[in-house]
Amino acid sequence: MKETTMPELIEKELVASLSFQDTSISIKQHPEIMKQIENATRLGNAHHSKVSIIFQDDSGLKRVDTTIWANGAKYICLKGGVWIPISRIIEIKM
């Protein structure tokens, strides 16, 4: 899946300060986003491998390179206890 604009690379520690409040934002997710999340979580737990998470906060497209430790029905948990809503994730690159 290719994006027309380049996401802003941010540090994992900045994700907690981002806003995900704007409910009018609509994004096009990778068709196999849940499979990507499951695979990335497995990699994070078994091998402590980092992945690139491309997502949309209220101000624009972002990318963070980090480890996914857990996932639930609505959020993923990154290393350090930082959460991202699954509804805002566009793609995860291994």
| Residue of higher predicted confidence among 80 and 58 | 58
- The domain locations on the chain are 8-19+26-93
Domain at 8-19+26-93: CATH code: 2.30.30
- Confidence at residue 80, expressed as pLDDT on a 0 to 100 scale: 83
The CA distance from 21 to 30, in Å, is 22
Is the pLDDT at 41 greater than 90, yes or no? yes
- Confidence at residue 17, expressed as pLDDT on a 0 to 100 scale: 96
Is the pLDDT at 4 greater than 70, yes or no? no
Single pTM value for the model? 0.92
Average pLDDT, integer, range 42-64: 96
- Confidence at residue 3, expressed as pLDDT on a 0 to 100 scale: 47
